[in-house]
Amino acid sequence: MKYLPFLIPERARVLPHYFKPLPLPFTNGKKTSRALQWVLGMLFGMLAIMSLIHPLLSLLWLLCGFIAFPPGHHFLEKKLRFRLTTSIKTVTLLLLFISSSFLVLHYGAKEEQAAQQQQLIADRAAQKRAVTARQDAQRKDTLASYLWQSRKLSQAGQWGAARLQLQQAMTYAKSSEEKSEILGVVADMQINRAAGLVKAGKYKAALPLLDSAMANHNDDPQLRYNRALCYSKTGKTAEAVSDLKALMKDGNKDAEKLHDKVNPLRKRIVGYETLCCDGSTSDARGRGACSHHGGVCDWNHPVYEEYRKYE
């Protein structure tokens, strides 16, 4: 008759020590089987580590590894007091593996969906960048066209039409470099127009343009000379002399000629002296003056001084 442990409840036992169950023998299996269990345990352990981002899947792999490891096998037989046969172990591992496979498929589908979503976002961003780049290229082409038209019109003397082209160009300018380029074209147009007005003798009309151009090209000698000429022609001699003196410091010959014309040398009497007959002069006013120089020819010979009206 086979002994069945725990058949009589503990409270009803007459000799409790007599009914103490015998320890169950552990199933060790063959060496080849034990080696395979170690390999499977290590494999499941590696899978558990690789699946840490999915805790439930990692826990299933870890449980499979624990059951497959011989130490885990012995621990379960000891704690649960039953024989973990190869069949039970195989079925258990198979069920756990199938469950984990469903989880693998589930997480794989989710990861694939997330990857597709990320790819969709990346594609949309790339399309948006492509559209933006195409629009920016069109904007730059339009800006360049307006600038070319404005230069062409200004060369033909059509200043009003050129100004309208520049106003249109400014609406397409975004960067500071593009706006600076437009302002440079405006300055060049003002310089060319001012030069044309000066050449045509329209000095009063040229002055505002020259003043505006000088604000950005203060070191341009031709602009300063043209402004000085316009000042001299419109009665602003002092302003003309100021510009001409600045040019004369750099040795500008044209400025010197114009300066001598608008601000010529003048003479004025600053005193009188005694003029001797031999041409010399003396400060003596009484007898004996010019006694050694042929006598006095003029007692009140004027003394002159050269000056310019605008110093």
**Best mean pLDDT range from 9-23, 221-235, 268-282:** 221-235
CA distance 178 to 249: 37
**Confidence at residue 86, expressed as pLDDT on a 0 to 100 scale:** 77
Confidence tier at 26 by pLDDT (50, 70, 90):
very low
Q: How many CB atoms lie within 10 A of CB 283?
A: 7
- 15-21: list long-range contacts, CB under 8 Å, 24+ apart: 21/81
Q: Please compute the mean of the pLDDT values over residues 60-68 and round it to a whole number.
A: 84
Average pLDDT, the chain: 83
> pTM for the whole thing?
0.52
- DSSP β-bridge partners for residue 214: none
The answer, yes or no, to whether residue 29 has pLDDT greater than 60, is no
Listing DSSP states for 273-298 in one string gives EEEETTS-EE---STTTTTTTT-EEE
| pLDDT 10s digits, 182-214 | 888 888 888 888 888 888 999 999 998 888 888
Tens digit of each residue's pLDDT (9 = 90 or more) over 271-280:
888 888 888 8
What domains are defined for the chain? 22-115 (no CATH), 175-262 (1.25.40.10), 266-308 (no CATH)
SS3 68: helix
